[in-house]
Structure 1
Amino acid sequence: MRPKPAIEELRAEIQRIEARNRQPVKVLPFGIPELDARLPAGGLAFGALHEVAGGGNGTVDGAAASLFVAGIAARTKRKILWCLNRQDLFAPALAQAGLKPTRVIYLRADDDQTVLACLEEGLRHGGLGIAIGEIARLSMTASRRLQLAAEASGTMGIALRRWRRQTDAYDFGQPTAAVTRWRISVLPSSPLPVPGIGRGRWLVELVRARAGESADFELEACDGTGHLSIPADLRNRQISAGGGRYSATA
């Protein structure tokens, strides 16, 4: 049965009112059009929670995922809160991804629950560029609290998922309130014309994007300004029309 005309008119009026009152979403673009096009409003949203984890052999150490997050933080303003419960975060490596040590407030906690509590307080503060928390478990209830805190302050929140064992990562696919979910895996580095170590290369998987599209991108790791880039040998390839990995073009 179709709704009555009066109900349809009421729904249309409510939509018009909501559209007028809706605040524009502030985002942080990656600067890669093919990647930004997969995200609502063309970038990573502020005032929202995002999930990032390492993939493949980096599931436990989370090195590439941490550098990916550092690159995002480097391209924001204000201080960065980084909550962790391990002692293996290497600040000089974060600096190579553009995140200067003087911009970061490191908070060491004893367990996931304390990290979550500190991350929520950081998001509610409202004076930070990004609040980051390294955690293993993220329940729907906890993620909703973080999302609401981020929405209230306009601060971006990142849950950096790290586990003690690779088998513990089974819950990464469970539903949470995060707006986006990312998985970062290490690939062979970009080749050099002479023997040596080239720039790091990652498989950047946008596993989930609310009101957006999921996609995979093979990209060069963050440079000294926190930016990702398209590998030179992939620059002239066309984007795949179907699913699977996207080779971005310039």
Structure 2
Amino acid sequence: MPSPSAARSERLAAIRAEVRAIERVGTLAEVPALPFGLPEIDGRMADGGIAAGALHEAAGAEDHLADEAAATLFLAGIAARFDGTVLWALARRDLFAPALQQAGLPPERVLYAEARTDADVLAVMEEGLRHGSLGAVIGEVTRAGLTASRRLQLAAEEKGVPALLLRRRRRSQPEPFVEPSAAATRWTLAPAPSPPLAAGVPGLGRAHWHLRLVRQRGGDPFDLTVEANDGAGRLALPAVPRHRANRARRTAAAA
């Protein structure tokens, strides 16, 4: 039979665990999912958008610089729409600040942390998430095992801060999502043909991406073509060309 002091210690431990669970639920309830503002995306997502207290991953669809740039800007746009400073942990000095600003993330909102290895990047991300005062945490890695992704997921849940992981490709591992992960969502991106500007105006319009949700917790995968982030970090759907819209209306009328 346990002594009175041992029983009291066990009871105190149980009460502390209950309090931590209540605090965690309250924190997550105060930070709901962030919608993209597009029914074609939000309506297909289990959480109705990007869950704040969760890990999300993105990578280029192919081993091309343009694909990786699209994935980088996609995550930058997501981070831009969360309030607060964004911590960006990286091991390569190849980020282009003007491009991030065009995607909605100006330099004054970004705190860069340079690391030497993937393990260092992951450690910096976890510390930033547990700090609790950041709007979002982004990290760039080539590899992150299941255990590391679970730690990031738990840290994101604890404070309700989104963890955004950019999976950078390397020649020895062409498939970025070959490793299992605890991430709530996993995305791939690739550039799509941009439309021409208005008639008589030379040049191309807003960049387009092929966006694919490879996996999501509690939902199905999907893909579609979107317009890249605007200056507020928001995606859009490509406008239907006038001749195609007229053709669709004629087809519907004939039917």
Query: How high is the TM-score relative to the length of structure 1?
Result: 0.81
Distance apart, 1:57 and its partner CA: 4.7
Letter in 2 for 1:214: P
**Residue 112 to residue 57, structure 1, CA distance change in 2 (3 Å):** closer
- Contiguous gaps of at least 5 residues in structure 1: 1-20, 238-250
Distance apart, 1:189 and its partner CA: 1.0
Q: Distance in 2 between matches of 1:234 and 1:210?
A: 35
Distance apart, 1:29 and its partner CA: 0.5
**Residue 112 to residue 201, structure 1, CA distance change in 2 (3 Å):** same
- Contiguous gaps of at least 5 residues in structure 2: 1-24, 246-255
Q: Distance in 2 between matches of 1:190 and 1:127?
A: 40
Q: Superposition pairs for residues 1-250 of structure 1, below 5 Å?
A: 24=29, 26-58=32-64, 62-165=68-171, 167-193=172-198, 194-233=201-240
Distance apart, 1:170 and its partner CA: 2.5
Distance apart, 1:216 and its partner CA: 0.2
The RMSD of aligned alpha carbons is 2.2
Q: Distance in 1 between matches of 2:36 and 2:237?
A: 11
Letter in 1 for 2:232: T
Letter in 2 for 1:213: D
Q: Distance in 2 between matches of 1:116 and 1:169?
A: 21
CA shift digits 1:120-166 (9 cap, x unpaired): 1011111111100000001101100111111111110011111233x
Query: How high is the TM-score relative to the length of structure 2?
Result: 0.79
CA shift digits 1:183-240 (9 cap, x unpaired): 0111111222332022100001011110122100100100111110010127988xxx
Letter in 2 for 1:83: A
**Residue 206 to residue 213, structure 1, CA distance change in 2 (3 Å):** same
Q: Distance in 2 between matches of 1:60 and 1:221?
A: 13
Structure number, greater radius of gyration:
2
Divergent runs of 4+, >4 A: 234-237
Aligned residues: 217
